Structure 1
Amino acid sequence: MTGKIRGISILALLSALAAPPALAQSAAPSTAQPAAPQAADASQLEEIIVTAQRRQQNLQDVPLAVSSLGASDLQDRQIRDTIDLIQHIPNLIGNNNVGLGSSNTYYIRGIGNTESIATQDVPVGTYVDDVYISRQNANNFGLFDVERIEVLRGPQGTLFGRNTTGGAINVIMKKPSATAGGYLEAGAGRFGETDIRASMDAPLSDKVLTKVSMYRNRSDGYVRQVNTGDKLNGSDNYGVRGAVRLLPTDRVTIDLAGDYVDENEANLINRVDPATGDRIATIGITQGALAKYFTGTKANNEVGNSTKSWSLSSNAAWELDDLTLNSITGYRQTTQRYFIDSNPAAPNPIATGVSPILNYSLHQQWSQEFKANGQALDNRLNYTVGFYYLHENNWTDLGTGVGTASGFTVSGDRTIKNTLDSYAHYAQGDYK
């Protein structure tokens, strides 16, 4: 620390000594050519645009606790999945939920929920392009072609809905560009890991812009299942997204997007084998061994977690003189299967057995929002008003128990069906 302070002091001294001659030289008459314009002051803060109040604003003007990461930040910090945010966002705590690699549980300011079952809502909401993702089952999605991510701390219920008591994670995807181009990147790592990401902008005309993005990553896993020798806690994920931007007039913009994501990733409980030093899974029951105890297709689930989801969304914006109207529509469907162990205390997974959780679920959601952002009273009043509707259909076939393949006790085997209809009106304004 002393050396650093000394170095800074010497730099300051040299700058002070150099300043008078420079000033004297500029004050003297000169017949030289005019100097080139000086570059902008590097000490000035870069303007960061966010939509934390459901309208575009400079981050410095937003009276909220917001952390914003742009595309370059995500690249520099190697944030590949939403779970990686917990390493970089202050006050955001999280982990994979109950061993599910596709599901994240978040805590902001100490408020969170570890349940991914459809009968419980989470207090930290996740949004993609202003469309709310109602279930945790697939909120750990791979980040590809993202414009920025905003993490809002504190209750955000007025503008982001009732499930944001702790805060909100808002993902904004890149929109199609008017210039053709794209990128391709690839990487490799230990345990057979490979990662490929690509995107291409292909405008069809000045009024029809298109974009296609994809990602693919996989790894062999680093945990060995002792009774089969299989590698666990690996990944095999891919996703593709298409987007279209329509510009029928100077005042109307219509953004359409669709994606499909297939995730096969688990985070099964494991420990170090003292004999070999390898990591071994505590789960000692293989696929199909519990079929005689449980009903339904869940009894034959493979060890691990598999989630498939697809979504469609549209955002139509109409700009008037002092008013912007938006119609935001979203549909998402998620199917999930998993077979995981919930007993971390078992010292010998074959001898003492497991406490497995088997699940096969289907989740469907549809939402519609109408929003208006405007200014009035000589631009002294900024306001946002809107209407929101959400409908859900959830079907969950769930099984739990404890024991071994030869002696097993079922503690739960049930099918849960629940629907949801949620309506909301909201309004917020600020007057200067």
Structure 2
Amino acid sequence: MKKSFSRAIAAAAFASSAMFVAQAAHAQASNEDTDIVPDPEGPTPAAGPVTQSTNANQIIVTARRREESLQNTPIAITAINAAMLENKNSLNIGDLQGEAPNLLITQQNSGAAAANLSIRGLTYADVEKSQEPTVGVVIDGVFIGTNTGQLLDFFDIEQIEVLRGPQGTLFGRNTIGGVINIRRTRPTFTTGLKAEASVARFGTYSGRAVVNFGIGDIIGVKPFFFYNESNGFYRDNETGDRRGGSKNYNYGVAIAVEPSSDFDLLMTVEKQEQDFEVVNPGISRTGEVICNFAPADQCNRNTTDDLYTVFGSPAFGTYSAPALTAEMNWDTGLVRLTSVTGWRKSSEDQQQDFDGTSVDLFFSNRVQSYKQFSQEIRAAGDLFDGFDYVVGGFYFNSDFSLQQFTRVFRFNDQLDVRDADTNPRSVNGATESYAVFGDFNWEVFDAVRLSFGGRWTKDRKSLSNGFLQTGLIGQGEATFDKFTPKVGVDWRPNPDMLLYASWSQGYRSGGFNPRAQTPETAALSFQPEIVDSYEVGAKLDMLNNTLQFNVAAFLSKYDGLQQNTTIPGGPQGNQTITSNVGSSTIKGIEADATWRPVTGLRLNATLGLLDAEFDDFIAGNLVGGVLVPFDYSANDPIYSPDVTASIGAQYSQPVSFGELVGTVGYRFIGEYDQQISLGPLSGDLVNGPVIVGGNDPRVRTDKQNLLDATLTANFMMGNTEAYISAFGRNLLDDRGTTAAFTVAGLFSFASAREPRTYGVTVGMDF
């Protein structure tokens, strides 16, 4: 009832706004900064009013909290503006995969709108909220503290910046892998409506609209409403029906207040909702416990085409996340002050049939609530000619609660899981973080800049672990702090070349184990991870500024690796905890290029080469109930393909009715593992050390060859810009896993990537 009421209120408010706009905008064209589907030549402002560059091919970024050209920014960064996303018919953050070197984004099946993010081989692939992501997603300046809710709709995006490597001196939360910085469009203060509707394969329908209007010259208002539904691309083996469907809503309003050129306020109130079915194709094999009970044809299945036929019981989930963001900027003349406030709350109720078979063997229901609040304050300016700075303070707190109901070997999928488990797992956790940071640029010589900065972070964490009826297992509380510096130098020998080198350190906090089953392990904290990253790079403008070519080489030393391990203890005889197990070395080369050889044609390419390996990785495993050391040093780190590459072209051609824009893109992603697991074993199999010769081959995704294409017709209907777009994704129908997991000889499951799909979009902008 509450959902229906809130949606009705949102729809009524939106409809009222739309009618007002339609009346006021008669015969008036929109003058927004970003057209619907233009040839993306020229800068897209990243935040607020920006002075446009005289070079039409430059993109202005604010990754370093300064407005500067992408080619003049001495860090590894990929910028993608609104026109690029819309011309490719991108849907959400997952479509960025392959657009930036060494970037992976896959959907996390065990969380609502959740993503597994990996940059340069650094990732966090779990659903627990007791640990921070290794790659931060920042939306309008606010860090999202959990991987849930990160698959953001792309319709209202102004620009995305992918920063590779540790980020601690500029962004609110410290991240060791990198940051995906997303800026949505600001209210335009002028009357306009941007709307589109799509229909695609697998019963997919979507409708999106953004309204803009002003109240005088001071207040700009932007209501928005997005809706998407799909029947899913899996097939039920018994009924032949589609499985894995979802319905998604995102609605709210952004209000900008600009009483003068020196002060502005932007506030966004929104809500994200999702109703979805969770599907886990089974990939268990003979020898795992599940296959002693499941029909023979449901075991030993492959991890490509077989994934798309499913046998498990229906499992459903709901997700609701209201959020508030407020940003204020005040330019005093000597210093620019910025305040960013973020509040977000989420409620999740998610079922999951983990065994993936028609026999009711392992079914769970996770009920969670999560809340975060953050406050960032920054000051930026010029201390003297040639010396600029950004300094700030950051506060973050979050808390979560989890109840997990489990139905194990009941052989009755009609039995409500909450009736089957009257003593569910109960976990409560909290985080409080303080930080101060600074970033400084000093032009010590003509064309030579020294960049330096640092961040001091203090995290306080607590967690209690137990069961609803039988009570507490154990609890822990600890404080972690770290200073992480950064030093860099860049040299511009001529206006078309930038050379740079840097060293930075990243930090990821320690914490406690929500899956611990004894008082000792529940009270035992794991320690922080530390990354030292060294990078050199060059940014080149060539062929009269029609060709931009960027290249970077990096080396990362990763210490204090946090990994899940299985040890003895608890009522089941074993338990999964997070431990600091060793170190690794990651090195690689990244390159990207954009070439505009003639008017209307844009060519782009990226290449990421990655060499990731463990220096040492020793963890304990159970052998006959005894803890034995296992050496995983020969295993591949997860989500670390050796090669990621892409090549694309976009061509726009004026025609009698308007303009045709064609886009084609090919992405290659090398094979990579998705879980640290047990492959071939050697050594002393009784007393240890046991040598693990790699991960289980079922958790390795195959090489991906992804081909996408879009053809868009732009035309005018009176004073209204309109377009019709036909698109195809994964045209080669490349099939395989996006996630795969094995569970201690009990069962294994996976999720599949979207097969070939196609559809049509129509839209308008006035």
TM-score range, shorter chain: 0.7 to 0.9
Equivalence for 2:370? 363
Residue 156 of structure 1 aligns to which amino acid in structure 2?
Q
Q: Does 1:182 align with 2:188?
A: no
Matched residues in 2 for 1:372 and 1:265: separation?
43
Q: Does the residue aligned with 1:72 lie in a helix, a strand or coil?
A: helix
* Cα distance, 1:44–1:366 mapped onto 2, change above 3 Å: closer
Matched residues in 1 for 2:55 and 2:173: separation?
38
| Deviation at residue 159 of structure 1 after TM alignment | 1.7
* Cα distance, 1:365–1:413 mapped onto 2, change above 3 Å: same
Matched residues in 1 for 2:430 and 2:390: separation?
29
Residue 383 of structure 1 aligns to which amino acid in structure 2?
Y
User: 2:143 touches 2:173 (CA, 8 Å); kept in 1?
Assistant: no
Equivalence for 1:328? 340
Map 1:119-268 to 2 at 5 A.
Answer: 119-226=130-237, 231-266=242-277, 268=279
Q: Does the residue aligned with 1:350 lie in a helix, a strand or coil?
A: coil
Equivalence for 2:392? 386
Map 1:294-333 to 2 at 5 A.
Answer: 303-333=315-345
User: 1:182 touches 1:201 (CA, 8 Å); kept in 2?
Assistant: yes
User: 1:100 touches 1:267 (CA, 8 Å); kept in 2?
Assistant: no
Q: Percent identity?
A: 28
* Cα distance, 1:354–1:68 mapped onto 2, change above 3 Å: farther
Match of 2:426 among 397, 409, 415: 415
Matched residues in 1 for 2:168 and 2:277: separation?
32
Map 1:40-55 to 2 at 5 A.
Answer: 46-55=57-66
* Cα distance, 1:84–1:265 mapped onto 2, change above 3 Å: farther
Matched residues in 2 for 1:122 and 1:401: separation?
29
Instruction: Describe the superposition over 1:279-311 as per-residue Cα deviations: whole angstroms up to 9, x where unpaired.
Output: 432423x5xxxxxxxxxxxxxxxx133211110
Instruction: Describe the superposition over 1:222-244 as per-residue Cα deviations: whole angstroms up to 9, x where unpaired.
Output: 32445677642112111112111
Matched residues in 1 for 2:192 and 2:172: separation?
37
Q: Does the residue aligned with 1:188 lie in a helix, a strand or coil?
A: strand
Matched residues in 2 for 1:144 and 1:258: separation?
17
Residue 267 of structure 2 aligns to which amino acid in structure 1?
L
Equivalence for 1:106? 117
Matched residues in 1 for 2:184 and 2:306: separation?
43
Please identify which structure carries the higher strand content. Answer: 2
Equivalence for 1:8? none
* Cα distance, 1:278–1:70 mapped onto 2, change above 3 Å: closer
Residue 105 of structure 1 aligns to which amino acid in structure 2?
N
User: 1:96 touches 1:267 (CA, 8 Å); kept in 2?
Assistant: no
User: 1:282 touches 1:354 (CA, 8 Å); kept in 2?
Assistant: no
Instruction: Describe the superposition over 1:5-26 as per-residue Cα deviations: whole angstroms up to 9, x where unpaired.
Output: xxxxxxxxxxxxxxxxxxxxxx
Residue 396 of structure 1 aligns to which amino acid in structure 2?
L
Q: Does the residue aligned with 2:97 lie in a helix, a strand or coil?
A: helix
Q: Does the residue aligned with 2:424 lie in a helix, a strand or coil?
A: strand
Instruction: Describe the superposition over 1:131-176 as per-residue Cα deviations: whole angstroms up to 9, x where unpaired.
Output: 1110112111222311111111100122225541000111101000
| Deviation at residue 324 of structure 1 after TM alignment | 0.5
| Deviation at residue 405 of structure 1 after TM alignment | 2.9
Q: Does the residue aligned with 1:365 lie in a helix, a strand or coil?
A: strand
User: 2:137 touches 2:150 (CA, 8 Å); kept in 1?
Assistant: yes
* Cα distance, 1:161–1:44 mapped onto 2, change above 3 Å: closer
- Give TM-score, length-normalised by structure 2: 0.45
| Deviation at residue 264 of structure 1 after TM alignment | 2.3
Unaligned runs of 5+ in 2: 1-41, 43-53, 284-296, 299-304, 444-766
User: 1:282 touches 1:341 (CA, 8 Å); kept in 2?
Assistant: no
Equivalence for 1:396? 402
Structure having greater relative contact order (Cα 8 Å, sep ≥ 6): 2
Matched residues in 2 for 1:266 and 1:103: separation?
14
Unaligned runs of 5+ in 1: 1-39, 287-302
Residue 320 of structure 1 aligns to which amino acid in structure 2?
T
| Deviation at residue 315 of structure 1 after TM alignment | 0.7
Aligned length: 366
Matched residues in 2 for 1:248 and 1:217: separation?
37
Please identify which structure carries the higher helix content. Answer: 1
RMSD of equivalent CA atoms: 2.7
